[in-house]
Every structure is written in C-alpha cells, then in structure tokens.
Structure 1
Amino acid sequence: MRKLMLVLLACISALSLVKADTILNNVYARHTQSLNGSWNSIVDPFDNGYYDYRLNVSNNGFFKNQKAKSKSDLVEYNFDTAPLIKVPGDWNTQDDKLFFYEGSVWYKKDFNYTPKPGTKAFLYFGAVNYFCNVYLNGEQIGTHEGGFTPFNFDVTNKLKEGSNFVILRVNNERKPEGVPTVNSDWWNYGGITRDVLLVETPDVFVDDYLVQLPKGSYDKVEGYVQLNEKKAGVEVSVEIPELKIQKKLLTDAEGKAVFALKAKPKLWSPESPKLYDVIIRNGEDVLNDKIGFRQIETQGKNILLNGKKTFLRGISIHEEAPYRQGRVFSKEESMLLLSWAKELGCNFVRLAHYPHNEFMVRAAEEMGLMVWSEIPVYWTIHWSNPDTYKNASTQLNDMMERDKNRCGIIIWSVANETPHSDARDKFLADLAAQVRAKDNTRLLSMAMEVTGTKGNVSQVKDYMSKYVDIISFNNYLGWYGGTPEDCKTRQWDIPYDKPFFISEFGGGALQGKHGDKTERWTEEYQEELYKNTLDMYNRVDGFAGTSPWILMDFRSSRRQLNGIQDFFNRKGVISERGLKKKAFYVLQNFYKMKKEQELKH
C-alpha cells in the first residue's frame, strides 16, 4: 500500500512539473562539456529525500544539497561523503547490493561554468531509466519519464559563474501504466545510462534539420532547416560538398527554410554504405553530419532497397554489454555487438525492444546494417489509459526525432507481442497514424504473434496487418510448444499480399552444454531448432527476412533456472562471455546461401 501511495503521489506532483524541452538534434556535433564520470550517489529506498514523513513532497529534500553549519545541526545525508557511481552506467552492475534494486537513487555532480554573452546552455541527458527529477543549484528544472530517449533543459539563466551542481532523483520502479509496463523480459537497469552533456548554442541556432531523398525519387535531395525561434529572413545554408551542393536559404515566418535540390547521390546500401558530409550553417552556428541516401519500399511480397529485391538477413539485439554485462552506453561496445552481426552475415539488425543509444544507430549505418527501431510498447500495456498512450506517443516521437536523418533505419516499429483487444487495436492504430504523418520514407511494422493453429497450419491474422508494410511476427515453434521436428511439416496461412518477416524465433542453450539434439538447453537442440525453423520459413511464399532471438545472452529477472539460466535469457547464439554456440554457424551458413542467391539475381 505504501509503495502504491508513493507512486500516486509522485504522479500527482509530477503534473505540475516542467517537462523537458524539445530535443536538440545531432547533439554530438555541437559545442559540449561532458558531465560524465564519477557522481556521488545516495540510495533512497523509502524516498526520504523526496517526501516528508507524511508523504508530502518535501520542499527541503536532498536536492537542496544541505551542509551542517555547526556541530549541532541535523542533516541526515551528505553527498560529499556519499559513494561514487560512474555515469553513464547502471547502478545494478556497479554495486552488488543494488543488483535487484528497484527504487530511487540520488545523483550529484559538481562542475564549473563560465557564462558567455549571446550563448544558450542546455543540460542534456542521453537516457535515464525510468523517471527522474532534475535539479540545478538546488532548484528543480524539470522531469522526464521514459528510460531510452534523450531529453534536455534550457539552463541558460540558471547557471552561475563558477561552481554549480546538478542533482537527479532517478527512480526505476516498474509501473502498471508505464511504457514498458511491469512485465518484461529484460533487465530493469536503473540509473543515468547514457551521456550527460552541457551543450552550448548561439541565442538563435539551428534547432532541427532534415536531409533526405524524397519517397520514390533518386535525383533530388530535399528537407528543411528549422531555427529555435520564429524569425523570418534569417540566412541559413545547406552544403554537401561531394555533390557540389551549396544552397543559401531564407527562413519563413516560422523560422523554417524548406529546400528541394537536384542531385544524384550514390545510394547507401549494406554492400556500399556511402555517407556524405553535410554541413548546416546559420552564421557561426555550424552543424556537421554524415548522411546517406536510399529508398526502401515494398512491392507485393517483396522488400525493395533502392529498387532491388532484398532479403533482410537479420538478428535481434538487446542493449546488453558483452563480457561485463550491464547497459551498453559506448560506441566501442555497440560496435562489438554489431561486428558479431556482420560476422553472421547480417545486413540488418532489429534493435529491441526500445530505442538504443545513438552510437549504436550511427555505427550500424556506418557498417552497412539496416535497422529496425522500436519503442517499448511491450506485452500487457494499459491500452485504455490516456496517459499511457501519451507516454508511448512521446517516446515514438522522440525516437523518430533523434534518428530521422539516419538512412540506415528502414523500419519504425510500434509494438511487440501485444494481446488482441479493441483497445489495443485503437492504441496501435493511432501510433501507426503518427508514424505515417511524420515519415513516409520508411516502412512501418510491429512484432505480432501467431493467432492460431488448425491441424498442421499456423495462421497469422491480425487486425493491425492493414496498417503495416511488413507482416512481422514472433514464433517459437519447437521451444514454446512442439518440437524442432514439427517445423518439417508445419504449413502457414498468411493471407496478405505483403512480405512477411520473422521478427523472432529461437530457443535457449547454455554455451558449452552438449548432448543429444532432443535434449533441451544443449547447443545441439538449439542448432537443430535453427536448421528446421529456417528450412520451414524458406519454403513459404513471401518470406522476406528474419531477426532470430537473439545475438547474445542477456540478463532477465524472469529466467531463474539454476545452473542453466541463472537470470540470463539463454536464447543468444553467442554467450554473454562472447563464445559462439553451434546455432551461430547454422545461421551464418543460411545467410551465406541467401546472399549468394541474391547476387545471382
């Protein structure tokens, strides 16, 4: 009851709090000061630093960073002597006592700053899981909900000359109305899990931009440049030196300049992941980016990349750090995971089940991997709750905003394995409409489920099929029902003139455990399951790709089998220690065969 009261009070008090500003686009191209490193931390399981003893939000909480001024002063916390925690990072893997912890942890960082005339300053967070209150110099500047999307606050008039301090109350308690909700199959890593930056811009700056091939065109580059203020007649420019583009533009009354320029760029593809240097200017405000150009579409039961039929040779990936475990936050760890995908022969990765860090998305694009990007609308979301929908919609918007210039992303996904109901259908249909209104250059999908089996025929019939470009579904025949042998005779009823994609299949295996191919948890069982599953789908008309579950074993509180799972989901084709299982090579050989077939045609 007390925990419920805390959650309700937090929700009520949050209604009056300032929410994060519009997300800064391409933050790493801006002038930044890193606030990463060691932060002081206080674990607060009863939220003593946030509520008073009557469970009212305290006006004198830990965010005040109080110090005892005399020997007789009573101050029951001290950030200066509190333990250090690394940012970015999750608290679960930094302290054994916090391995299973879900609740509040306070973070504090001291930093120096020198204000500059004509300069704005923003406090930027790559991600904080799940809900956070942000305070600067003892004053709350805002809140944010959602564990996988970036946010920032304008702190120009709140920073002081010299010493400043920022404090966060981070809470990762799972909530029934949350996105994701209370039940999921990955670890609920709490903390400031991605970069923290102090970002400087001019007073009037380029707030946003888009540079792309319009849908269906190969000889034109179009987009826009958007200022942070509604100022007309401001000169901005778009430059793509390699294409000999240097276009000056004037903003309209909304502070926006739209362009459409003749050009024939070399197209981005997995075989040739060409990216162009793009420069956006507004006076001395200069943003550099690397942008690729491609077309992705469907035609009947085929997926076409740049007008050519392609098979999505994929793998699903969680943002789980190899070797050390914990939440991935660096480019190096992202590239290691992606390099394993490339070794498999992949041209595609499904980044599940939430927006991954920006380094992962950019590295995939640079390495020639097409990307499925999704939000954590997962399993039993509260479909009839307006606040839950608003939360999901905001996360969808923020994911698309951050990565809209990443040509490697070819699919926006709005859900995974959601139970059928009228409320669910409306929820997802509205999210699908949001995607369509915002972006017509990518494909839309969601991971659905098999809806029934009659005799030897499995059916995929979902109301949401009319909204998606690709019929994507998860199916674990041979693991959650049946045996690998059943794949040899199973037939499929997928009554849509659209390509179908197997967003998940697989089974668990403990790396190094060997036995008969009928023995669960052995590498041989998983190997046989992969062989038979791939053969099964390869016989079905419209099979356009797959992203088996999953690249690497990952932590999950749901997976409790002692001596086998030990709180790991063991469906990876690679262990958490980086050792490949036998199924890895089955998938690798299948992808080699599919690539050879594609090259012949």
Structure 2
Amino acid sequence: MRDEYPRPDFVRSEWVNLNGAWDFYLGGDKRSIEVPYVCQCRKSGIGERICEDAVVYERTFFVPDTWKGRSVLLNFGAVDYFCRVWVNGQCVGTHSGGQTPFSFDVTHCLNWGEECIRVEVEDWLKNEQIARGKQYWEDESSFIWYTPSTGIWQTVWLEPVSASRFSWIRFTPDIDEGTVKIDYRLEQGTALPCEAMITICREEKPVFKGTVWCRELCNTITVDVFQKKALNGSFHFVGAYWSPENPNLYEVTMTLKNGTEVTDRVESYFGMRKVRIEGGKIYLNNQPYYQKLLLDQGYWEESLITAPSDEDYKNDILMSKAMGFNGCRKHEKVEDPRFLYWADHLGFLVWEAMASFWVYTPEGACAFMREWMDVIRRDYNHPSIIVWGMLNESWGVPGIYENQEQQSFSKSLYYMARSLDSTRLVISNDGWEMTDTDICAVHSYQHGREDDQKQQELYKNCLKEIDELPEIVEKRLFAKGHSYQKQPVVLTEFGGIAVSEDESGWGYTAIGRSEFLKEYSRILDAVYDSDLICGYCYTQLTDVEQETNGLLTSTHQYKFDPEKIKEINDRRRT
C-alpha cells in the first residue's frame, strides 16, 4: 500500500490514508481492488485491460472522534478522468481531469460511525478530445502507445481542518537579492485579524522567525534569507543555492493563530535557485548549465502509471544520476508529487509536461488549458522543475503549422504559463512547429546506423547549424509566421536505441546488447561536437511494454554498467 504522506510541500500532521482494499464494480461484477493502483495493472489485484468506460469504487471508513468540531476534507491525488463522489448517499462533488488533485468538504455528510464513500468514474477510452497522453485506446499496445489507466491512480486521504486555515502557500526565490517572497492565502471562513507565524530553517538551523498580522485573506512577506541586507550586501551565500550537485533546501513551518489558539500548522520547503536564458544557453544560478536529461514515461510493469512504492521514485532518480544524467523530461504525464519531492531532495532537474489530447476542438482546448493551470498551481513550489513543456510534437494541434486558431492556442498556453510563473522557462510545442517559446526544443532520431557513414555525417553537421537543423527533423522547426530568435537549442528527443534479449522489441533503431555502449558513445559524440546544442534528452529511461529502448529494463534494473554510461555522459560538462 502507498502509505507515505501524499502532498509533500503542504504537510499537515493529522490525516487518515484511504488507500488499500476497496470494492470495485466493473460491468455489474463486484471485485476487490487495491487503491491507488488502476484495474489494468497487476498491482491492483485485477490486472485486466477493460473496454468499459465506467467503473465504481466503494469502501467504508471511520473518522477519528478527536476530529469532531473541525471540518473534514476528502482529498484525491488524481483520478482518470471524470468522477462523481458520494459520501453516505450524498453527492459531495465532481471533478474532470486525470492529472490533478481535488478536495471536498464532507463534514455535513458524516454520521460519526461507519461511513461509506462511493466514487463513480468515467474514462472514455476512445474520446480523442480529453488528455490521454500515451494511453492507447485499442485492445493491445502498439508502437509508442501503452496500456491505458482508468480511475484512481494516486492516494486518497482525509484530513481535519479548522475554519481558519491556509488555502495555499507559494515561495518565489530571488538569489540575486538573497530573498524569498512568501505569498499565502487564508480560507474564506478565516476569522480576521489573525497571526501567521513563519519559521525558516536550513539543516535544522534557524534562518528566520517572524509573525505577520493578517487583516486580509491574501498576504505577502519577503524574507532576507541570505542576510545580504543585514550584511550590506557583502555576503554572497552561493553554498545555499539549490542545484543537482547541491540540492540545498529550506524547511518552513507556517502557523496560524487566533489569539492563543493555533488553528492551522503547515510544513513546507523551498529552494533558492534561478533559471534564465542568455546567449543561446540555459543558465542555472547565473551559470551556464548543460542539460543531460532522460525521457521519462513514468511507467512500471506491475503498476503502470503509479509507482509500486515511494522508494521507486527515489531509486529512478538515483539510478539516473549514477548514469551521469542531471534531470528528466517527463513525457505525456503529470507525475505524482512524491516524485517531485525526491527530485527536490536528491537534486534532479524536471521538465514538467501534461498528457496530450488528440483532436483539436474548443472544448478539448478549454479542458487542457484548465488542467495545465491546475498543474502549475500544484507544482509551483518545487525547485526541481525548471521548464513547463506545454505541447508535444503538435499532438492535439495537428494543423498548427498554418492554422491560426491552433497557433493562437499554442501561444495562449505559453503566455498563460508565463503569467502564472515567471521563474521558469516555457516551451510552446516540444519537437517542432514551435510558436513563441523560450527554448528551441528539437526531436531527431536520424543519427544513422553504424554502417551509414553518409547519414552519420549529415546528422553531425546539421546539429551545428540552426539553418541546417531542419534537414534531420521530421517537420518544420517553427510554425508559419514564426522563426528562430536565438533561443537555446536543446535536442529534447534523440537516440531511442532498442536492445532486447530476443531482439523482438521496438525502438527507433535496434542493435545487439554488446554493441550498445559503442553506439551510444558515437551518437553522444555527435551531440557534444556541436556548439549550437546546449543540452539533450535521451530516449529513454526504461523499457515500457513493447518499447525496448530504455537504459533500464521494464522492471527498472540496469541493462548496462552505469559507470560506463556515466563516462560517456561526462565527456562534456558545460
């Protein structure tokens, strides 16, 4: 059972985990399912590829008597795709969107005995307007498409809260000034005025302790974290920056008080880091930083899109770093916050993405936009995230090259992300046919086989010149009316070399296991020979179902000596 606290950047001490055995209704049949694993995976106890669009979950639970007098929130990490939730026969709310969290106040429904929850889920497997990502709608996985996931796939839990409480807290670091701006909102029913007490520590040593007198629901305080002002700006606290090499974090406790009564206490954290672009390069903490990323689908053989355990998120990051990678590009999936927690604490860059939809309609575009806004709100505080990748390879916007409506949608996603978060970079359409974008993100698997010297030379030479680059990209780099504006160029998909024991798996190219390191080295040499390219994302971290182009197996084990991979990756530092 997934029993770790599910919301690591907004932690309350009291909670009840509702993961575990639930009744599961499929096509009239009642079974038992292990939440939060979807019915299509073995870990759920069912492991069947279903064709039904509707499923139902039910279970009973008890609320601690000590929670009486407070409100009780029912929280869901994520449910794919639409759900309606009932408690003791009363509908407490609905939610649409398979990637983001939601909550309902269920206090009015409780009888303070045995309680019953019912979750009705609809996941229209063949609806091309909803965000599905790599989940395949046919009976068997094929090419780059995987087994779909229906229903609850992240933790379900209860928590007691007071009427006077925090709604959200947002941290915005400024390493140049040495400060962090803390914005927070109080719940609508909060009794005003009240006091917000803020304590910031680093490695358990106090950095700041202060109190804000709150007369409004929305409040802001800027804290001099590096004490530069106190020291007249003479002290530059570089050692406290967050980076993959030194993932320094500041622990925060936010306490809300009405008189002598503590009404809410939340634990969180932030990292002091800065991301920007200059001169065709990506800068981290005011230094050029070469991106060495892995394409990460976030799939597990036994549990599909839900990690078997919290330790699995941690292990993926540690194994990636052991191979010399400093981050990942999440692909067609908004990952569980627990992955981001480990990325923050272990030092691992994350390029965040959303599951794509397939057919452009105003309704689909609206749903996609709304869910992206929820993603940015949910994940704003994670220092590991440095890029928002809004679209991928024109999926959902197939006519974007010259269709003005689809171009406008791409640009609206870009400016929406920039308006909600000015601290990160944004890619409008990763791969090709970009509109406004902070990074020229290019996909190319045309590296040529070992015996094709002509294609190898073409690939190598095209990586050096922006005007030549389109020759090895499937579509035009920019949509009509848009052009390269000297953004950093990152090869955000390449490689994809398939290796399997029986050589029956699929990849962009296929070779024997003994030849892989030589082939990987050859392709990386071509990338490293380019002064235009300032980073890459290799396809991919793990094998997934029929795809055997991972550096790890489908059970997330090394295929090759990680030190050998690291030696190749380490040939270039900046």
Q: TM-score interval w.r.t. the shorter chain?
A: 0.7 to 0.9
Counterpart CA distance in 2 for 1:219 and 1:365 is 20
Q: Take 1:178 and 1:399, find their aligned partners in 2: how far apart are those partners?
A: 16
In the alignment, which residue of structure 1 is the partner of 2:218? Answer: 256
1:107 is aligned to: 57
Q: Give the whole-Å Cα distance in 1 for the aligned partners of 2:500 and 2:453.
A: 19
1: CA distance, partners of 2:267 / 2:11? 9
Residue identity opposite 1:435 in structure 2: A
Whether 1:573 and 2:523 are equivalent positions in the alignment is no
Could you tell me which amino acid in structure 1 is paired with residue 442 of structure 2? Answer: F
Q: Paired residue for 1:453?
A: none
- Of the candidates 278, 290, 315, which is equivalent to residue 252 of structure 2? 278
Give the whole-Å Cα distance in 2 for the aligned partners of 1:97 and 1:272: 41
User: Which residue does 2:520 correspond to in 1?
Assistant: 530
Q: Are the counterparts in 2 of residues 323 and 578 from structure 1 also a CA contact under 8 Å?
A: no
Question: 1:245 and 2:208 equivalent?
Answer: yes
Q: Deviations over 1:30-73 (max 9, x none)?
A: 521111110011112xxx7xxxxxxxxxxxxxxxxxxxxxxxxx
Q: Specify the alignment match of 1:406 in structure 2.
A: 382
Q: How far off is 1:430 after superposition?
A: 0.9
Equivalent residue for 1:59? none
Aligned partner of 2:455 in structure 1 is: 486
For 1:229, the aligned partner's letter is: Q
Q: Select which of 402, 415, 430 maps to 1:448.
A: 430
Choose the corresponding residue for 1:366, options 342, 345, 359: 345
Over residues 365-411 of structure 1, what are the superposed CA-to-partner deviations in whole Å (9 max), with x where a residue is unaligned?
11110111111235x341xx232122112221221122111111111
**Inter-partner Cα distance in structure 1 for 2:392 and 2:124:** 21
Q: 1:425 to 1:525 in 2, by over 3 A?
A: farther
CA contact (8 A) 1:102 1:190 kept: no
> Is 2:242 the partner of 1:268?
yes
In structure 2, the residue corresponding to 1:147 is in which secondary structure? coil
Q: Distance in 2 between matches of 1:432 and 1:155?
A: 37
Q: Distance between the aligned counterparts of 1:323 and 1:120, measured in 2?
A: 37
The CA deviation at 1:518 is 12
Matching of residues 80-119 of structure 1 within 5 Å? 82-94=30-42, 98-114=48-64, 116-119=67-70
Cα offset for 1:484?
8.1
Distance 1:518 1:124 in 2: 41
Q: Secondary structure at the match of 1:328?
A: coil
Q: Residues 458-498 of structure 1: CA distance to partner in whole angstroms, max 9, x if unpaired?
A: xxxx441xx22211122221489x96862332214534412
* Contact in 2 for aligned 1:518/1:525 (Cα 8 Å): no
Cα deviation digits, residues 204-258 of structure 1 (max 9, x gap): 10111112313x63421212121012754321122113453112112343x0111
**Residue pairs, 1:272-351, within 5 angstroms:** 272-283=246-257, 284=262, 285-321=264-300, 327-328=306-307, 330-351=309-330
Q: Could you tell me whether the CA contact under 8 Å between 1:176 and 1:381 is conserved in 2?
A: yes
CA contact (8 A) 1:24 1:208 kept: no
Q: Which residue is equivalent to 1:9?
A: none
Note closer, same or farther for the CA distance 1:540–1:24 as it changes in structure 2 (3 Å cut): closer
> Equivalent residues in 2 for 1:385-424 (5 A)?
385-418=361-394, 419=398, 420=400, 421-424=403-406
Task: Name the counterpart of 2:17.
Answer: 34
Alpha-carbon shift at residue 524 of structure 1 (Å): 5.6
- Match of 2:469? none
Q: Specify whether residues 324 and 195 from structure 1 end up closer, same or farther in structure 2 by C-alpha distance, changes over 3 A only.
A: closer
Task: Please say if 1:553 is aligned against 2:543.
Answer: yes
Give the distance between the partners of 1:427 and 1:201, measured in 2 at CA. 39
Query: What are the Cα deviations for residues 439-474 of structure 1, in whole angstroms up to 9, with x where unaligned?
Result: 111111255335xxxxxxxxxxx441xx22211122
1:381 and 1:273 map into 2 onto residues whose CA distance is: 40
**Post-superposition offset of 1:582:** 5.1
Which SS does the other structure have where 1:424 is aligned? helix
Does 2:5 align with 1:43? no
Give, in whole Å, the separation in 2 of the partners of 1:483 and 1:528: 15
Deviation at 1:347, TM superposition (A): 1.2
CA contact (8 A) 1:226 1:256 kept: yes
Residue ranges of structure 1 left out of the alignment (5+ in a row): 1-22, 49-76, 451-461, 556-567
User: Hey, what does 1:178 align to over in structure 2?
Assistant: 130
Asked if structure 2 preserves the Cα contact closer than 8 Å seen for 1:129 and 1:172, the reply is yes
Which whole-Å CA distance do the structure 1 matches of 2:453 and 2:562 have between them?
Answer: 17
**Secondary structure of residue in 1 paired with 2:130:** coil
Closer, same or farther: CA 302–508 of 1 in aligned 2, 3 Å: closer
Instruction: Tell me how far apart the structure 1 counterparts of residues 509 and 176 of structure 2 sit (CA, whole Å).
Output: 53
* Cα displacement (A) at 1:423: 2.5
8 Å CA contact 1:447–1:473 kept in 2: the answer is no
Query: Could you give the per-residue CA deviations for residues 105-153 of structure 1, whole angstroms, max 9, x where no partner exists?
Result: 2110100125645411111111111222211111222222222211111
Partner-residue secondary structure (3-state), 1:444 = strand
1:474 aligns with 2:405: no
More off after superposition, 326-335 vs 343-352 = 326-335
- For the 8 Å contact 2:182–2:221, the answer to whether it is kept is yes
Question: 2:567 is aligned with what amino acid?
Answer: N
**Residue in structure 2 matched with residue 456 of structure 1 by the alignment:** none
Matches within 5 A, 1:1-150: 26-44=9-27, 82-94=30-42, 98-114=48-64, 116-150=67-101
Q: Deviations over 1:478-531 (max 9, x none)?
A: 489x9686233221453441211122112352433479x998353367556533
Deviations 1:513-569 (A, max 9, x none): 479x998353367556533432222233331211211100113xxxxxxxxxxxx22
**1-side partners of 2:453 and 2:513: how far apart?**
13
Report the TM-score, using the length of structure 1 for normalisation: 0.78
Please list every run of 5 or more consecutive structure 2 residues that lacks an aligned counterpart in the other structure: 1-5, 137-143, 227-236, 467-483
AA aligned opposite 2:531: D
Q: Which amino acid aligns with 2:208?
A: I
Contact 1:351 1:371 (C-alpha < 8 Å) held by counterparts: yes
| Structure 1: distance between partners of 2:421 and 2:25 | 43
Q: Secondary structure at the match of 1:320?
A: coil
Does the 8 A contact of 2:410 with 2:428 survive in 1?
no
Q: Which moves more between the two structures, 140-149 or 427-436?
A: 140-149
Q: How far apart are the structure 2 equivalents of 1:475 and 1:484?
A: 17
d(CA) in 2 for partners of 1:538 and 1:134? 52
Find the residue that maps to 1:165 and give its secondary structure.
Answer: strand
Bigger mean CA deviation after superposition, 23-32 or 545-554: 23-32
Residue type of the partner of 2:275?
I
* Structure-2 change in CA distance of 1:573 and 1:302 (3 Å): same
RMSD after superposition: 2.9
**Counterparts of 2:562 and 2:343 in 1: how far apart (Å)?**
20
Q: Judge conservation of contact 1:89–1:327 (CA < 8 Å) in 2.
A: yes
Aligned partners of 1:531 and 1:586 also within 8 Å? no
Q: 1:526 to 1:391 in 2, by over 3 A?
A: farther
TM-score, normalised by the number of residues in structure 2: 0.81
- Determine the structure 1 residue equivalent to 2:474: none
Change (3 A) 1:473 1:391: same
**Alpha-carbon offset, residue 83 of structure 1:** 2.0
SS at match of 1:124: strand
2:159: which partner in 1? 199
**What's 2:178 paired with?**
219
SS state at 1:396 partner: helix
- The CA distance in 2 between the partners of 1:166 and 1:488, in whole Å, is 62
Report if the CA contact (8 A) 1:106-1:168 is conserved.
yes
